[in-house]
Amino acid sequence: MIKQISGGFIIEAGNSTMLLEVNEVQKPVLAYYGPKMKEPESLTAFKTPYGTAMGTATLYDEKKAPTLTLDQLNLEISTPYKGDYGSPSLLLEGQSSPVYDFVYQSFEIRKPEPLPELPSPHDAEEELVLKLADPAQKVEAELHYLTYKDSGVIGRYLKITNQGEPLDIRKAMSLQIILDGEGFELVNFYGTWSGEFQKDITPLNHLRYSFDSTTGSSSARHNPYFIIKKKETSYQAGGCYGFNLVYSGNHYEEVEYSSFDKLRVQTGISPLGFKKTLQKGESFVTPLAVLTFSDQGLNGLIHVMHDFVNAHVVPQEFAYKARPVVFNNWEGTFMKFNERKLHSLVRKAAAIGAECFVLDDGWFGKRNNDKAGLGDWTVNKRKLPHGIKGLCSYVHKKGMKFGLWFEPEMVNPDSDLFRAHPEYAIQDGIHQPCLARNQLTLDLTKPEVRTYIIDAVEAVLKSAPIDFVKWDYNRNMSDIPMNSGTFFHDYILGLYQVVGKITSDFPKILFENCASGGNRCDLGMLSYFAQTWVSDDTDSFERAKIQDGMVLGYPLSVMSNHVSAKISNQMLRKTSFDSKFDVACLGILGYELDLGSLSKKELSNFKQQIAFYKAHREVCQFGTYEQISTLEDSSFSTKEAHNAKEAVVSRTVGICRPVPSQESLFAIGLDPNADYHYAIRREDLDLRRFGTIVNYVLPIHLKEEGALISFIAKFKSMPCETLEGDMSGAGLMGGGLKFPMLWNGTGYSDKVSFMGDFGSRLYLLSRK
C-alpha cells in the first residue's frame, strides 16, 4: 500500500512500513523504516529534531529553517556542496556550476511501469514517484518506489532528466537510505571462482566501507546482495535490512556512519568507467534496487527474499514450477566424448532416474579443448554424426529432457567467427587484448554482434526440440574500447536485449545461468534464466559453505547443485556420494560425473537418492528455509526446509573432535501441536573408511589400503546410525531429539554416528 499522508508518504510492504517525509525545505527524507505500524496521522512525531545549528553546521536555508543542516538529515538523494558532507548518491557535472540542489515539486502514485531496457520484477502493485528538480540547473530527478503483490520488498530507482545544457552523470546510485541507530554490522558476500558467496561480517564504525564489481559482470568478487543487521541480530531474532540490485553489471555499494551516527547505505552502478552524457531532453534510468526489512532475524529476511525471487523475479513461466533432476556430462567427460560415450551416459542417467540430460561444452566447431571453437555454433559432426537433433531424439526416447550448453558472449581467436569478424571482440584498438581461458568477449554494445548471437543460438534451438539451455560466461572483461563512457552498462543492456529476445522466442525452454559457476549470479540474470549453477566447486563441505552464503538472498529453487566424483576436482578432497547428496538436495539436484566408472552399488545408491529427492522435491525446492546453525557459530551447518507436510534437515560437520559434544536438533517452523515421524535418511558407509579397525571384527586380516578390502568394499558396506521415531513439533523444536553421538574411537554401533570430517546427514520430519 502506498498513500500520501500529512507531511509525506507511507509505504507498506509485507511486515514493514516506510515513512517518507517532505520537509520544510522540500527535501525528501526517510522518517521511518522498520516493523509494520498503524498509519500515523502525520509525520510530526517522526521529524529529525534540529534544535540548534551546531558549531560548523552549514545552514541550508536560514529563513525557512534557521537550524537545519542537510548533514543531519536522512536524505533520500544527496548531492554535494550544499551542506551534506557525506558521500553523494548523485554526482553531476555540467557547464556552469557544480552545485545541484534537488527539491520536491510533486508526486504521483500510479500503476507501475517497467523500467526501460532493464529487467523489472513482475506483479508490481503500486509505484510512488517523487518528482524533484533543480530549477536553476534545469535538471529533474525522480525517485521511484515500487511495491509488489504480497511481498515485503520495496523497489527503488532513480531517473534523471536534463532540460538544460549538456551534463555528465558521474555517479547515480539506484538507492540511498540513511538509517538511524548505532551498532549496525555489514554482511557481504565476497569470493572468486570455486569459492563464491563467502560471508563477511563487519561491525561498522565511522569509516566509509565500499565494495564493488568492476569485472564487467556482477561477479563472484562481491555479490550485489548485502545485509545491514544489528550486532545482536541472529538467524532467529532481531532486526536486519536486505539490499540487492536487479542488475548484472559492474555495481558499487557503500556504507558509512556519519558523525551523527546515521548509517548511509548506497547501491547502484559502479562509477568506474561511467560517464553518461545527457543532452537537453535526455534521461537516464538507473537499475532497480530492492530492499526489505525483517524483525525476525536473518531467517525472516531469507523468507522475504526467497518469496520475492520465486514470485516476482524468475520468468513467470517457471515460477514455482518443479525443476528437473539434471545429469550433466561436464566433469564426467569434459570435451572428450563421442556419440557412443554419450549414449551410454544417457542410458545410465535414465536408469538412475535423472530427468534431463545436459550436453555441456565441446559439441560445436573445433572445440576439443578450450583453445578453439567458441563463436562457431555449428555441431561437430565428428563427435556427433547425427547432430544435436539425433542426440536430442535419443535422449527423448530414453524418457528424459534434453539440454545444451552455450557460451554465446565469447569467441576464441582460433574460430571461424573471429577470423571473419575480429572487430566483434572487445578490444581497445591500440593494445594487444588480454586473453582469459583463451577467449575474448564479444562486444554486445554493437547491434550486429547481438544479431549474430541471437541468430546463431536460435538456429540451434530451432534445429531440435531442446528443453534446457545452460548459458555460460567464462571470463572477466578487459581492454574496453573508448566510446560513450558507459561501455560496461551498454554491454549489460545489450545482453538483456539478447537474452530477452531468445527467452521470449523460446518461452518453454528452461535456461540455467552460469558464469564459471556463480560469477554472474544476480537478480538481473534470474529475471531471464530461472535457475543458476552455483559454483564449479562441488566438494560437499565447500559447497555447504557457499550455499549457506547464497541462500541468505537467493531461494533454493534457483540453486543448481550437482553430485560429482567423490574426490572433488576443485579440492581433491574426498567426501562420500551421500554427503554430496545431503548438501545438494536442498536446492535443484543434479549429477555430474562419469557414471560409466561406478559400481552397481553406487548406481543403485544414486537411484535411491533421486527417488528420495523426487518424493520430497516440493519441500527441497520451494520449502521455507531456516538456517539452524552455521559453521561459524557451531561445529555443524544445519539447515531445514519445511512446508505444511514435512521438513528436510541437512547437517554438515567441519573437522570432527575426538570427544564430541552431545547435539540435539532444534527444528524451526514446525507445528508445535502436531506429531511428526522423524527418520534419518539411511546411508551406507564405505568399509575402507574404518581403516584397520575392521580387523577387530573380521575373521581374516585386511591391509588398510589393500586390494582385498577394496574388492570387499564393492559389495559390502557398513550401515550408518539409526534414528527414527515420533515426536511432537514442540519437542523437535525444543531440542527433544538427541542426535547419536559422533564416532569417538571406542566402538561402533547403530547408536554411533560416523560422519567423519566434512561429512553430512539428512533427516526427514513427516507430519503425521
Residues with catalytic roles: 472, 536
Q: Rule CB under 6 A: is residue 330 a binding residue for ligand DGJ? A: yes
Of 529, 429, 437, 407, whose CA–CA distance to 479 is shortest? 429
Q: Rule CB under 6 A: is residue 472 a binding residue for ligand DGJ? A: yes
* Least separation in angstroms between CB 638 and ligand DGJ: 28
- Closest to ligand DGJ by CB, 270 vs 516, is 516
Q: Which residues from 639-678 bind ligand DGJ, rule CB under 6 A?
A: none
Angle (CA) 530 192 620, round 5°? 35
> 3-state class of 430 per DSSP?
coil
- Closest to ligand DGJ by CB, 119 vs 517, is 517
Letter string b/e over residues 551-589, b meaning 16 or more CB atoms within 10 A of that residue's CB: bbbbbbbbbbbbbbbbebbbbeebbbbbbbbbbbbbbbb
Q: Rule CB under 6 A: is residue 307 a binding residue for ligand DGJ? A: no
For residue 424, give the amino acid letter.
Y
* Least separation in angstroms between CB 674 and ligand DGJ: 41
* Least separation in angstroms between CB 403 and ligand DGJ: 11
Q: Rule CB under 6 A: is residue 584 a binding residue for ligand DGJ? A: no
Whether residue 9 contacts residue 107, with contact meaning beta carbons closer than 8 Å, is answered with yes
Q: Rule CB under 6 A: is residue 332 a binding residue for ligand DGJ? A: no
* Least separation in angstroms between CB 474 and ligand DGJ: 5
- Closest to ligand DGJ by CB, 22 vs 457, is 457
Contact segment (CB under 6 A) with ligand DGJ among 86-94, 277-285, 512-520, 563-571 equals 512-520
Query: What would the grid cell of residue 412 be?
Result: 576464441
Q: How many residues bind ligand DGJ (CB under 6 A)?
A: 11
Beta bridge partners of 266: 176, 254
Q: Rule CB under 6 A: is residue 537 a binding residue for ligand DGJ? A: no
- Closest to ligand DGJ by CB, 58 vs 438, is 438
Binding mask 399-438 for ligand DGJ (x = CB under 6 A): ------x---------------------------------
Query: How buried is 703 (Cβ within 10 angstroms: 0-12 exposed, 13-18 middle, 19+ buried)?
Result: exposed
- Closest to ligand DGJ by CB, 370 vs 671, is 370
> 3-state class of 159 per DSSP?
strand
- Closest to ligand DGJ by CB, 533 vs 678, is 533
Contact segment (CB under 6 A) with ligand DGJ among 80-88, 439-447, 510-518, 692-700 equals 510-518
Q: Rule CB under 6 A: is residue 539 a binding residue for ligand DGJ? A: no
- Closest to ligand DGJ by CB, 13 vs 440, is 440
Q: Which contacts (CB < 8 Å, 24+ apart) does range 314-321 have?
A: 314/526, 314/527, 314/530, 314/531, 314/557, 314/558, 315/503, 315/507, 315/527, 315/528, 315/529, 315/530, 316/122, 317/507, 317/508, 317/530, 318/510, 318/530, 318/531, 320/557, 320/622, 321/530
Q: Rule CB under 6 A: is residue 361 a binding residue for ligand DGJ? A: yes
* Least separation in angstroms between CB 519 and ligand DGJ: 8
SS3 percent helix, strand, coil of the chain, rounded to 5, is 20, 35, 45
Q: Report how far residue 11's alpha carbon sits from residue 18's, in angstroms, rounded to the nearest whole number.
A: 5
* Least separation in angstroms between CB 339 and ligand DGJ: 19
Contact segment (CB under 6 A) with ligand DGJ among 265-273, 509-517, 601-609, 706-714 equals 509-517
Q: How far is CA 374 from the centre of its chain?
A: 27
For residue 418, what is the enclosing H or E element? Answer: helix 416-420
Q: Rule CB under 6 A: is residue 529 a binding residue for ligand DGJ? A: no
Q: Which residue is nearest to ligand DGJ (CB)?
A: 361
Whether residue 293 contacts residue 204, with contact meaning beta carbons closer than 8 Å, is answered with no
Mapping DSSP onto H, E and C, the string for 27-63 reads CEEEEEEEECCCCCCECHHHCCCCCCCCCCCCCCCCC
Contacts of 348 (CB under 8 A, 6+ apart): 595, 596, 603
> 3-state class of 368 per DSSP?
coil
Whether residue 280 contacts residue 123, with contact meaning beta carbons closer than 8 Å, is answered with no
Distances (CA, A) of 312 to 119, 621, 622: 11, 16, 14
Q: Report how far residue 58's alpha carbon sits from residue 722's, in angstroms, rounded to the nearest whole number.
A: 71
- Closest to ligand DGJ by CB, 85 vs 334, is 334
What is the residue whose three cell numbers read 581461458? 437
Sign of CA dihedral 259, 265, 268, 273: positive
- Closest to ligand DGJ by CB, 212 vs 361, is 361
Contact segment (CB under 6 A) with ligand DGJ among 484-492, 511-519, 542-550, 568-576 equals 511-519
Whether residue 687 contacts residue 709, with contact meaning beta carbons closer than 8 Å, is answered with yes
Packing angle between helix 339-352 and helix 387-397, nearest 10 degrees?
20
* Least separation in angstroms between CB 652 and ligand DGJ: 22
Other CB atoms within 10 Å distance of the CB of residue 738: 11
Of 112, 89, 118, 113, whose CA–CA distance to 29 is shortest? 89
- Closest to ligand DGJ by CB, 117 vs 370, is 370
Backbone region of residue 474 per phi and psi (left: phi > 0; alpha: psi in -120 to 50; beta: other values)? alpha
* Least separation in angstroms between CB 472 and ligand DGJ: 5
* Least separation in angstroms between CB 363 and ligand DGJ: 11
* Least separation in angstroms between CB 620 and ligand DGJ: 21
Q: Report how far residue 511's alpha carbon sits from residue 496's, in angstroms, rounded to the nearest whole number.
A: 14
Q: Rule CB under 6 A: is residue 517 a binding residue for ligand DGJ? A: yes
* Least separation in angstroms between CB 507 and ligand DGJ: 24
* Least separation in angstroms between CB 760 and ligand DGJ: 22
Binding mask 476-495 for ligand DGJ (x = CB under 6 A): --------------------
What is the residue whose three cell numbers read 529476445? 501
Contacts of 34 (CB under 8 A, 6+ apart): 16, 17, 239, 293, 295
* Least separation in angstroms between CB 365 and ligand DGJ: 13
Q: Rule CB under 6 A: is residue 536 a binding residue for ligand DGJ? A: yes
Q: Report how far residue 122's alpha carbon sits from residue 314's, in angstroms, rounded to the nearest whole number.
A: 9
Contact segment (CB under 6 A) with ligand DGJ among 19-27, 57-65, 513-521, 665-673 equals 513-521
- Closest to ligand DGJ by CB, 426 vs 514, is 514
Contact segment (CB under 6 A) with ligand DGJ among 350-358, 514-522, 672-680, 713-721 equals 514-522
Please pick, from the candidates 76, 254, 355, 360, the single residue that binds ligand DGJ as defined by CB under 6 A: 360
Other CB atoms within 10 Å distance of the CB of residue 336: 11
Q: Rule CB under 6 A: is residue 474 a binding residue for ligand DGJ? A: yes
Q: Rule CB under 6 A: is residue 516 a binding residue for ligand DGJ? A: yes
Other CB atoms within 10 Å distance of the CB of residue 668: 19
Q: Which residues from 181-220 bind ligand DGJ, rule CB under 6 A?
A: none
- Closest to ligand DGJ by CB, 453 vs 619, is 453
For residue 399, give the amino acid letter.
G
Q: Rule CB under 6 A: is residue 532 a binding residue for ligand DGJ? A: no
* Residues engaged in binding ligand DGJ (CB under 6 A): 330, 360-361, 405, 472, 474, 514, 516-517, 533, 536
